[in-house]
Amino acid sequence: MFAIRLSDTLPAELRPLEPWQAEEFLAHMDRARANLDEFIPFASLSTDLASAHATLRKYADQAAADTARIYGIWLEGTLVGGVMFARFDVRTGNCEVGVWAEPAGEGLGLISAAVRHLIEYAVVERGMQRVEWLTSSGNARSRAVARRAGMRLDGVLRSKHPHNGIRHDTEVWSLLADEWLSSPARSGTDAGRRASGRTAPAGG
């Protein structure tokens, strides 16, 4: 199993999330639930061991079909957040990146670092031409991650997403392949370090 180091100063790694980790994933979702529930229903999909296993099994099946993937972020050995390809369409060259975190995983730059690695993989290794990011207009943290990745706001789908009895506007952000390849944000990935002569992080 691969592990990508996400920080030069913190013991944080990006790794695949797999069905056998359902118990650890459920404990993480329990810690993250209140943090996520304002805008996204991701944690509500995993409320007991069976449903946590089903969530990870779904992504394992989608990874096998090359249509989606899910990864966890571990800090000091504890799962504190994650990133995913919510959609991965090789035929059209389009994919969608999503993220989540519990409070212990926020404000450390780990989510942004993991997103850069996903974009690098999608564009450089898989030839994706468009990386999308969908978020509620009220989710300031999510919008900030999109900006740091070099994404641009394409537009707003008004009253698009019903959640907790409230209809949210959905912002659509995107990053094109040529924009990523020339983006300053790319310097945070292994490829960017090699291109600039910096040493790639261990485990990358």
DSSP state of 53: H
Count of CA atoms in the C-beta half-sphere (13 A) of 1: 9
The mean pLDDT of 80-87, rounded to a whole number, is 97
Within a 10 A sphere around the Cβ of 48, how many other Cβ atoms?
10
Please give the pLDDT value at position 99: 96
Q: Evaluate the CA torsion angle 147, 150, 151, 152 in order and state its sign.
A: positive
Within a 10 A sphere around the Cβ of 117, how many other Cβ atoms?
19
> Which of 30-39, 64-73, 148-157 comes out lowest in average pLDDT?
30-39
pTM: 0.88
Domains of the chain: 4-196 (3.40.630.30)
The mean pLDDT of 130-134, rounded to a whole number, is 97
